[in-house]
Chain A
Amino acid sequence: MSSLADLPTFVLESREFRVLEGLHIAPRRTFTGRVRGERLTKRKGISIEFADYRDYTDGDDLRHLDWNVFARLETPVIKTYQDEEDLAVHVLVDCSASMDFGQVHKLRAAVRMGSALAYLGLCGQDAVYPRALGISESPMPALRGRSAFPRFAKWAQSLEPAGQAPLSKTLKDFAGTSARPGVAIVISDALDPEVFSAIRVLGGRGHEVWMIQVLSDEELDPDIEGDLRLLDAEAGSPVEITANSYALEAYKKNLKAHCDQLEQEALRVGGRYALFNSAGSLEDFVKMTLKRHGWVAS
């Protein structure tokens, strides 16, 4: 099993950067920001995007007085503009033990996926909050700007699949924090029977949940046979099986039902869902899924 320490310094390749260039994260909803950014919010502020008219009051900046209206109506009217603030983008990478699988390592794929989305957020002047689920670490402050990407990459390369806590618990723990509502990008295998309730909790906290489920080929189409005792990588109980066509068929059926429900839960809380094969191309995923389905926009 490869360690993330073996990953190259740059978790994304140059051609992948080129694909990401010019894109930014496109949430379904708008969120109130904390600092000025490049993203329009509901709040009135200073930008070039006209919002509305209102009556002049003392103290208003005369530069925004609509002189044409004043000339015709002799009534001072102030033009208001939408404010541009930053977006909170929580990149939640599942570091539980179950991510330590796959010929093409799931956590590696998750890290690359998280890095790509973080890069988009940073380039869009959003506040990117990296968070490793399942391991205890001090929360990193928000990263902003393209120049912060090396910090993100360094953090991403330090991740290890060592967590024993189930995803549902770590997600609920995250939801219980005072994290700014924003886009919560959960990058995980989501192989936890209780993950659905965690998504509901996360959505209930005001986050737009983007669920990117990372599964390996070995999970999507297992190639095992014989009489086995399956040991859960985390806290699940062992299962004895005879790996035959019946068992494999039943497993695939269960997996599909789990993924379908996962998608339903994500959509129900106003979020998004996508399945990413760890052996798949990140470049293709960005083009075929994120761009095509409006996760990101130019």
Chain B
Amino acid sequence: MSFVSAGALLWMIPLAGIIVALYLLKMRRKDLKVPATFLWPSMVYEIRANALFQKLKFSWLLVLQLLALAAIVFALARPQVRTKGLGGELTVIVLDTSASMSAREGGQTRFEMGRKIAQDIVSSVKMGDRLAIIEAGPTPKIVSPLSEDPAKMQRALNDLNPTDAENDVGEALRLASSIVSQYSGARIVLISDGVFSDIRDFSPGKAQLVFQRVGKSDKNVAIAAFGAGSTSEGTQLFFSLKNYGSLPSLGTLRLFADGEIFNALKVEVPAKGTYGKSVPIPTGAKVLRAELEAEDDLKSDNFAVALSDPDAQLRVLLVSQGDIFLERALSLDPRVILDRAQSLPETETRTQTSYDIIIFDGVPAQEVAARGVICFGSAGAGSPVRRTGTASKPAYQGSEGNHPVMRSVDLRDTYIDKGEKVEPTARGTVVATSDAGPLIVVASQPKRSIYVSFKPMDSDFPLQVAFPIFIANAIDYLIPRGSSGETFVVEAGKPFSIPAVEADQKLTVTTEKGDKTEIAPAGGSYVVRSMEQIGRYTLEVGGKKTTAYAILRSDLKSNIKPQDRVLIGQNAVAAESTTLRLSDFYKPLLLLALLVLAGEWWLFMRRS
């Protein structure tokens, strides 16, 4: 047994002393003359006192009062005992629904195992226990707020499904912590296979974090890489398979071009090894798909889709000291594969590049070989402007609304704290101006580039609806959508945006099974978050259809070996080997104290 507030036990000494001292007081009795005293029993119950002092006598009232005091003091000390069960009086269950939880072992998935554990916790709640359930999916969400209604919680658990996406367990834990971190004795139960990144900035507060691991197997082979590239031998399809398990794996890889199978290979991937190969693709093929049949536990990463159009996916490098708004806006574009750097890598030169677009955010622009450049507040070599000074609080004056970069972008309410004062070069075209000069300048020669005279973080532009629209316009301007414009590939669960043409039209997302989800436009675009399962989706708005493929391409999630210890906050948290919980039993003690006091009152009334 342990005590949450052991210091409260010290109250026993002075309080018991006070009660005993009260019993040392003597009764000054009222004299009453009677005919004879021999008939009267000498029954003395000193329940009141009005004089000092007497020898302490045994009294049941004293015993009962000390017993009640002991029960109350012990209750205040919050005694706890270990009992079977994961939950506590105040528990938040964080259930991992990421792709690795879809791994199937022994006839059921890890998610089903985890849900069973969660259901057991819910079933074992006692009266007064409160539970909340958080889904640790791509977007953590509270599926059942703190409540004492087990039926509601069971329904919420039954409605949960695993995803084929990466997740953010850290954010889910922080959400749980925000609910219970201020309560001593609260418990956050993370039910997961431990397949997630280390979580650095997390503190459970006063709550206790328990990691309940599910799963055992590490048997998984994944399509680690899949894409098309131009070679001297024509357009080739390259793929790479990776075996994360400790045993070699045999399988069959089927390759499809625009839905038609064109190749099938028997593959053997050594334990912890890889297998890669390039094969030619049929001429004119646009959508390439691979399906791997192998004896592994996770099927989500045995599916891959790539587009033959090189512009279907854009590798973007953000050179910045850190701008979360810019990163999020870029991530919303389904074509963008974003990398980050604080300075331009040496591998990026005038003649050599690994990126389609490089964005300089407050870092002086340099001449690079990338196909497009965006520069925010730091004109440099290759910029379509010359820097002439600095501008303080430049006020927006107007823009070239017909230019593709400025379409649907309204800067009238944008506050800019500071920026650069520039003048455009001969190849630069001013598309937005302020009272300090050009605000946004674009150039199409020798390559397409965009210059913005201020850093987003020096303004409230990132908070405006126009910001993600501007970023989407800029990327489309720098590298226009090619032949595969009506088809794109995204990572499952990753939100992305599609520009909305009509404000009152909803986007319909239809799965291969025919399930439909409608999304209303917000801020001039549709933000799609519902593609959490791998497969083909149809996006339709205003009669125009777009095909999207959701895939799982995650080295983290494909390595499904469950972790015994996970790094959360500053500590490595070990998986619970026993399902024990610390149970408070202060409530029974308080009830006992109440009963004892009731008995003491009854005795007092009988004797007085």
Residues of A within 8 A of B (CB): 98-99, 101, 106, 189, 191-193, 219, 224-234, 236-242, 244-247, 250-251, 254-255, 258
Contacts A242-B607, A246-B607 given; indicate if A255 touches B39 (C-beta within 8 A). yes
CB-based contact A241/B606 at 8 Å: no
Query: Do residues A192 and B42 form an inter-chain contact, with CB atoms below 8 A?
Result: no
On chain B, the residues within 8 Å of A234 by CB distance are 36
Nearest CB of chain A from residue B38's CB, rounded to whole Å: 5
B43 touches A101 (CB 8 A): no
Contact B42 A101 (CB under 8 A): no
In whole angstroms, how far apart are the Cα atoms of A245 and B43 in the complex?
A: 11
B48 cross-chain contacts in A, Cβ below 8 A: 227
From residue 26 to 76 of chain B, which have CB atoms closer than 8 A to chain A? 27, 29-48
Given A226-B30, A229-B30, A233-B34, A242:B39 Cβ within 8 A: no
Docked complex Cα distance between A246 and B36 (Å) = 18
Pick from A101, A230, A244, A254: contact of B45, CB under 8 Å: A244
- B30 contacts A258, C-beta separation under 8 Å: no
In the assembly, what is the distance between CA of A231 and CA of B607, in Å? 21
A251-B39 Cα distance, complex, nearest whole Å: 6
Residue in B closest to A244 when the chains form the complex, CB atoms: B607
Complex Cα gap A236–B44 (Å) = 18
Which one, A231, A245, A254, contacts B39 given CB within 8 A? Answer: A254
Residue pairs across A and B with Cβ atoms less than 8 A apart, 13 shown, are A101-B35, A106-B35, A191-B35, A228-B31, A232-B33, A232-B38, A233-B33, A233-B36, A239-B37, A242-B44, A242-B607, A242-B608, A254-B41
Chain A CB within 10 Å, residue with most, of B27, B29, B43: B43
A247 CB contact (under 8 Å) in B31, B38, B40: B40
- List, in ascending order, chain A residues with CB within 8 A of B47's CB: 227, 242
Question: Pick the contact of A241 from B36, B38, B43 — CB < 8 Å?
Answer: B43
Q: How many residues of B contact A (CB 8 A)?
A: 24
Query: Which residue of A106, A226, A238, A242 contacts B43 across the interface (Cβ within 8 Å)?
Result: A242
Asked, given contacts A227-B30, A247-B43, whether A238 binds B37 with beta carbons under 8 Å apart, the answer is: yes
A5: shortest Cβ distance to chain B, in Å?
21
Find chain A residues with CB under 8 A from B36 CB.
Answer: 98, 189, 191-192, 232-234, 236
CB distance from B606 to the nearest CB of A (A): 6
Taking A239-B37, A244-B606 as contacts, is the C-beta distance between A231 and B32 under 8 angstroms? yes
Known contacts A231-B37, A233-B36, A236-B36; is-contact A241 B31 (Cβ 8 Å) = no
- Bound state CA distance, A259 and B443, in angstroms? 127
Contact between B37 and A236, CB atoms less than 8 A apart: yes
| A97 vs chain B, min Cβ distance (A) | 8
- A224 near B32 with CB under 8 A, answer yes
A231, B42: Cβ atoms closer than 8 Å: no
Q: A240-B42, A240-B44, A241-B44 are in contact. Are A233 and B35 (CB under 8 A)?
A: yes
Q: Which residue of A lies closest to B35 (CB)?
A: A98
**Complex CA distance for A219 and B36, rounded to whole angstroms:** 10
Q: Which residues of B contact A244 (CB under 8 A)?
A: 43, 45, 606-608
Known: A224-B32, A228-B32, A231-B31. A242 touches B46 (CB 8 A): yes
CB of B472, distance to nearest CB on chain A (Å): 89
Report how far A92 CA is from B608 CA in the complex, Å. Answer: 41
Interface centre among B36, B47, B48 (most CB of A within 10 A): B36
Q: Are B34 and A231 in contact (CB under 8 A)?
A: yes
In the bound complex, do residue B29 and residue A240 qualify as a contact, i.e. CB atoms below 8 Å apart?
yes
Q: What residues on A are CB-neighbors of B43 within 8 Å?
A: 241-242, 244, 246-247, 250
Say which residue of B33, B38, B46 sits within 8 Å of A231 (CB atoms): B33
Q: Are A230 and B41 in contact (CB under 8 A)?
A: no
Shortest Cβ distance from residue A122 to the other chain B in the assembled complex, whole angstroms: 31
Which B residues touch A229, using CB under 8 A? 29-32
Given contacts A193-B38, A232-B35, A245-B606, 13 further A-B contacts (CB under 8 A): A191-B38, A219-B35, A227-B27, A227-B29, A231-B33, A231-B37, A232-B33, A236-B38, A238-B37, A239-B42, A241-B41, A242-B43, A244-B608
CB-based closest 7 A-B pairs: A191-B36, A98-B35, A250-B41, A242-B45, A229-B29, A232-B37, A236-B37
Give Cα distance in the complex from A255 to B37, angstroms. 11
Cα–Cα, bound, A186→B42 (Å) = 30
* A239 vs B48: C-alpha distance when bound (angstroms): 18
Q: How far is the CA of A193 from the CA of B39 in the complex (A)?
A: 9
- Residues of chain B within 8 A (CB-CB) of A240 are 29, 42, 44
Partner of A230, one of B34, B46, B606: B34
